[in-house]
A and B are shown apart, each in its own frame.
Chain A
Amino acid sequence: DSGVTQTPKHLITATGQRVTLRCSPRSGDLSVYWYQQSLDQGLQFLIQYYNGEERAKGNILERFSAQQFPDLHSELNLSSLELGDSALYFCASSPRREGGANVLTFGAGSRLTVL
């Protein structure tokens, strides 16, 4: 157990729907990151939050949004879902905002299947 908790582990939904993925970071970590892993795109960075504020943005679609709450847990909202959004979504956390030694700890992922 890495200490990063993601729910749900699996989710099956239909096109056009909206889902919310939840992440609880490791105790003491202030940064939360979201990554998408798909067969054709590999591991893609979506977004980073640090202590409630957005800090870095990657290849996140406009249909997707995220936030980090005062208790430091984070949610990734995916709307108007398309077949191509089917992927494994990872959350990671780290102690700091930045820095080369800022090691990320990953959760087990949430597997989203859009039918």
Chain B
Amino acid sequence: AQSVTQLDSHVSVSEGTPVLLRCNYSSSYSPSLFWYVQHPNKGLQLLLKYTSAATLVKGINGFEAEFKKSETSFHLTKPSAHMSDAAEYFCVVSDRVTGGGNKLTFGTGTQLKVEL
């Protein structure tokens, strides 16, 4: 079974400084990976996805992630944090299941705090 590990449960940055949220995955084949964001009392919103095309994936709101097979990593970055980026971020791997279906496995989440 595939899995993802988010290495930090909490990350705190100052506004205007870079953001790095770390994710490692475990997969027996080339995975599909996603980053979702959840703002307080809101649903989950897709930030970006990797599906075996370009290894550097650009998403919404200035976020990007790089797929590194040799390191089994899919870290999320942003050059300059904004107060509105404060939220919980989930790294996700997509499984196909027997009989035809899709199962997303979520990491445990990283809470991003942005300070003035």
Contacts and interface: CB of A to CB of B under 8 A. Distances in A.
Nearest to B34: A103
B43 A104 contact: no
B106 A42 contact: yes
Nearest to B53: A101
Contacts of B106: 42-43
Interface bracket on A: 20 to 34
Interface residues of B, number: 26
Nearest to A4: B43
A5 to B, nearest CB: 11
B32 A101 contact: yes
Main SS at interface, chain B? strand
A108 B52 CA distance: 29
A90 B109 contact: no
A100 B101 contact: no
B90 to A, nearest CB: 7
Contact of B43 (A31, A56, A90, A103): A90
A58 to B, nearest CB: 6
B44 A31 contact: no
B60 interface: no
Contacts of A50: 100-101
Nearest to B95: A56
